[in-house]
Chain A
Amino acid sequence: MTAPSLTVDGLVRYFGGLKATDEVTLQVRPGELHAIIGPNGAGKTTLINLLTGELASDGGRILIGDVDVTGQPIQQRVQRGLLRSYQITSVFDSFTVRENICLAARRKRGVRMAVWKPLVRDSETMEVARRIMAECQLQHVADEAAANLAYGQRRQLEIAMALAADPRLLLLDEPMAGMSAAEGAAAIELLRSLKGQYTIVLVEHDMNAVFSLADRISVLVYGKVIATGTADEIRNHPDVRKAYLGDDEDA
């Protein structure tokens, strides 16, 4: 499965009078891991929601590969391989880990008339589930209800589900939020192993992860992209430093 490019062109979203997304323009290359960073309230999650289609945009375009998906509902974008993980864990609490992952794995085939054979006993689905659970270190809790898991494991499940759904383009919204150092390190390695296989947009606060994983980084402040570049370019960018550290004029 080829990883597509993601083009965002002049994306706009208002909440009442507030311009939460201000003419955002990005170009994510195929197979690239592109990080989006920015201070709190910058509109990072809003941007992700606009990209998935869960939020309607007020202007601008979004292209997956060379297909214009602006205005398309989320289901159609998912069909093109766009999958996301949520900043606030959003799994199916009453299902087991295995059931959660199988449900995600089934997304390509759909469930149209599938009313007889158990979801988790389908051979194709089982194989995908086994592989993903191994990759994400969840095999030992496979039959635990998701609600029972430790927080870090729930975050793992969050990513695992996105992976199980066979993505081409992954949007990860702060996957490492709340993880311990050890869990975070494992997550970084997992993401590193995914580089190149998929196109990844990574929203993160964890600078460790960002600077070690990202091919390029975009910085979002008050809904606007103020800089895009490699890790080094961003580290030394004056506007970025001002945004994060502030200066007397802003105080």
Chain B
Amino acid sequence: MNSSLFLSQLLNGLQLGVLLFLLSSGLTLIFGIMNFINLAHGSLYMVGAFVGAATYNASGSFLFSLVAAVASAAIVGLVVEHLVARPLYRHDHLYQVLATFGLMMFFNELAIVIWGNRPYFVTIPEVIRGSVQILGASYPIYRLLIIAVGVVVAFGAWYLIQKTRFGMLVRAGTTHASMVSVLGANVDLLKKSLFMLGAALAGLAGTLAGPILSVQSGMGDPVLILALVVIVVGGIGSIRGALFAAILIAVIDTLGRAYLPGLLALVLAPTAANTVGSALASMLIYLLMAFVLAFRPHGLMVSAKR
């Protein structure tokens, strides 16, 4: 086993984990606090990716495209919150699932209408192109940037939730939403801000992912499902859980895809190893999810006593 290859795979996993974390943290907060299941979160990710890519291609400025992506995702998030989420907060999750499913369909088709069916090409910004040497492996700076962004956001989220008044209201809102409103906080504003925050994070993840993954209609779907697995494993409502689970799942997924066929080749014939290996690798995280749920139905970070 090549150690520098292993290291770069590990870093790939870490980087994917960060993207997943950005997506899942918003998702888990929205579920945990507003009890709202938002399947359109993947669409917000896609909005960030498209807007980020389009503005970068048009302006050449990475910073500008970043801001545009995050802002547009936040704005779309605000509109979604007001028109679709708000009427459905108190209602059965079924309708939330249905409505956001309809939104997903709409946004995916809208992307095709605006940008066509083929992947929309965007390159890694000039300013952060190139690689750097880490412990013998050559690793792209851009991917390291993503990891760095993840660390900053994780710290920022921790600070926001634990140390600010907004965070306090959010934490109180998870367990006692009605009390929070009785205490005078504008709950509607709180919910809108939270929704927009989640959307902004999704948009950030989307625009960062753009140059590495392909930007196209439906790109949010598989990532959304991964994010759902992450928050189920990590525990609904827990950001710490989302961080831990996102990295765990991304690393296992990446390493699994990279090494499982090879490992199986030790015991199976090459073609069988390849088939079974890639099949198993694609199922790996779901098996992990099932395993976790078998023992901790409420996720890893949330303790539930009977």
B-contacting residues of A (Cβ < 8 Å)?
55-56
Q: Which residues of B contact A55 (CB under 8 A)?
A: 306
Asked if B305 CB lies within 8 Å of chain A CBs, one says yes
Per-residue interface assignment for chain B, residues 289 to 306, with 1 indicating a CB less than 8 Å from any chain A CB and 0 otherwise: 000000000000000011
A55 to B305, CA, bound (A): 9
A-B contact pairs, 3 of them (CB 8 A): A55-B306, A56-B305, A56-B306
Give every chain B residue within 8 A of A56 (Cβ-Cβ): 305-306
> Of all chain A residues, which has the CB nearest B305?
A56
Kindly provide the distance from the CB of A138 to the nearest chain B CB, expressed in whole angstroms. 31
What residues on A are CB-neighbors of B306 within 8 Å? 55-56
Nearest-neighbor residue (CB-CB) of B306 within chain A: A56
Interface residues on B, range: under 10
**A55 vs B304: C-alpha distance when bound (angstroms):** 12
A56 vs B306: C-alpha distance in the bound complex, in angstroms? Answer: 6
Give Cα distance in the complex from A232 to B146, angstroms: 76
* A55 closest partner in B (C-beta): B306
Q: In the complex, A221→B306 CA distance in Å?
A: 24
Bound-complex Cα distance A191 to B76 (A): 62
A53 nearest CB neighbor, chain B only: B306
- Give B26 Cβ to nearest chain A Cβ, in Å: 30
Query: Closest residue of chain B to A58, judged by CB?
Result: B305
Q: Which residues of A contact B305 (CB under 8 A)?
A: 56
Question: In the bound complex, what is the Cα–Cα distance between A104 and B234 (angstroms)?
Answer: 39
| Chain B, residue nearest A15 (CB) | B305
With both chains docked as a complex, state the minimum distance between the C-beta of B75 and any C-beta of chain A, in angstroms. 42
For the complex, give the distance between the alpha carbons of A149 and B306 in Å: 32
Nearest to A16 among chain B residues (CB) is B305
Q: Cα distance A56–B304 when bound, in Å?
A: 12
Give the shortest distance, in Å, between B92 (CB) and chain A (any CB): 14
Q: How far apart sit A55 and B306, CA to CA, in the bound complex (Å)?
A: 6
Chain B residue at smallest Cβ distance from A56: B306
Tell me how far the C-beta of A54 lies from the nearest C-beta in chain B, rounded to whole angstroms: 8
Closest chain B CB from A59 CB (angstroms): 14
**Distance of A56 from chain B, by nearest CB (Å):** 4
Nearest 3 A/B pairs, CB to CB: A56-B306, A55-B306, A56-B305
Could you tell me the distance in whole angstroms from the C-beta of B158 to the nearest C-beta in chain A? Answer: 24
Kindly state the separation between the CA atoms of A56 and B305 in the bound complex, as whole angstroms.
8
Closest residue of chain B to A73 (Cβ to Cβ) is B306
How distant is B298 from chain A, measured CB to nearest CB, in Å? 15
Q: Smallest distance from the beta carbon of B105 to chain A beta carbons, Å? A: 33
CA distance A240 to B65 in the complex (A): 74
Q: Which residue of B lies closest to A54 (CB)?
A: B306
CA of A3 to CA of B76 in the docked complex: distance in angstroms?
65
A86 to B305 alpha-carbon distance, docked (Å): 21
CB proximity of B297 to chain A, nearest CB, Å: 15
Within the complex, what minimum Cβ distance (angstroms) separates B36 from chain A? 25
CA distance A111 to B305 in the complex (A): 29
| Proximity string of chain B (268-306) to chain A, C-beta cutoff 8 Å, 1 when within and 0 when not | 000000000000000000000000000000000000011
Looking at the assembled complex, report how far the CB atom of A180 sits from the nearest CB atom of chain B, in whole angstroms.
Answer: 30
| Least Cβ–Cβ distance between A105 and chain B, in angstroms | 28
B304 to chain A, nearest CB (A): 11
| Least CB distance, A16 to chain B, in whole angstroms | 10
Cα distance, A22 to B125, chains bound together (Å) = 66
